Amino acid sequence: MSLEISKGLTEDGIVAGNNFDKYASKNPIVRWMMTGFEEAIADLTAVDTIGSIHEVGCGEGFWSLRWQKDGRQVKGTDFSGEVIKIARSNAQRAGQAPDIFQQRSIYDLTAEHDAADLVVCCEVLEHLEDPRKALDILHSITKGHLVVSVPREPIWRALNMARLSYIRDLGNTPGHIQHWSATGIKNFVSERFHILEVRKPLPWTALLCKPR
């Protein structure tokens, strides 16, 4: 199913959701990159096939809906109320339960209400003003494993420049205010988690972790 996409809307001055439906792109280069990304995230999140999943920064719901369709116990949260409306609409169009999606900032999550066996936080940390606080919160709500991914710099911006995108910002995607190399994100996440596995689907870094 093709998702309804937020198309780069902003909420409270923050870019929310996706600029375009990269998962359904017909561009062969984008399709190749997304295939690598999807395979990496699917493999890393298969670590616990019966436990609960909390997708932090769920956007329009691509992954949460995929896991729910597979029969897994899922909750998806996002800071943006407008994006959550889109995620719920996507769920209804797919004949799936829309109430798995809730509007919650990552900074407001608590172990009491939001803990899960598997926490997934993909393409979120690069948008945050206080990623260290977010990492502490992810640690508090992760009962088993965490999967996290971020754009791999400077490759991400170089590829944007190569396709003549965001030239004025030297290839920086709107809303990206944190930038990590593969080594940088591993060092950062290692402050609170043991890293079990590293995947590098171009141009991302994805990590499977357990809390320290």
Contact 15, 80 (CB under 8 A): no
Contact 8, 15 (CB under 8 A): yes
- pLDDT for 11 equals 74
Instruction: Render pLDDT for 5-34 as a digit per residue (tens, 0 to 9).
Output: 766 677 766 666 666 567 667 778 888 999
- pLDDT for 15 equals 66
- pLDDT for 24 equals 67
Sheet strand arrangement including 142-151: 101-103, 74-78, 53-56, 116-122, 142-151, 204-211, 193-199
Residues ≥6 apart with Cβ < 8 Å to 156:
171, 173, 203
Q: Which CATH architecture has domain 10-211?
A: 3-Layer(aba) Sandwich (3.40)
pTM: 0.92
- pLDDT for 6 equals 64
Mean pLDDT by 10 residues, the chain (212 residues): 70 66 74 93 89 96 95 96 95 95 97 97 96 98 98 94 89 92 98 98 97 96
Residue with tokens 């710099």: 153
Query: Taking Cα atoms as reference points, which of 151, 147, 138 lies closest to residue 182?
Result: 151
| Token pair listed for 39 | 């395979």
- pLDDT for 13 equals 64
- pLDDT for 21 equals 61
Domain boundary assignment for the chain? 10-211
Alpha-carbon span 61 to 102, nearest angstrom = 11
Write the single-letter amino acid at 47. Answer: V
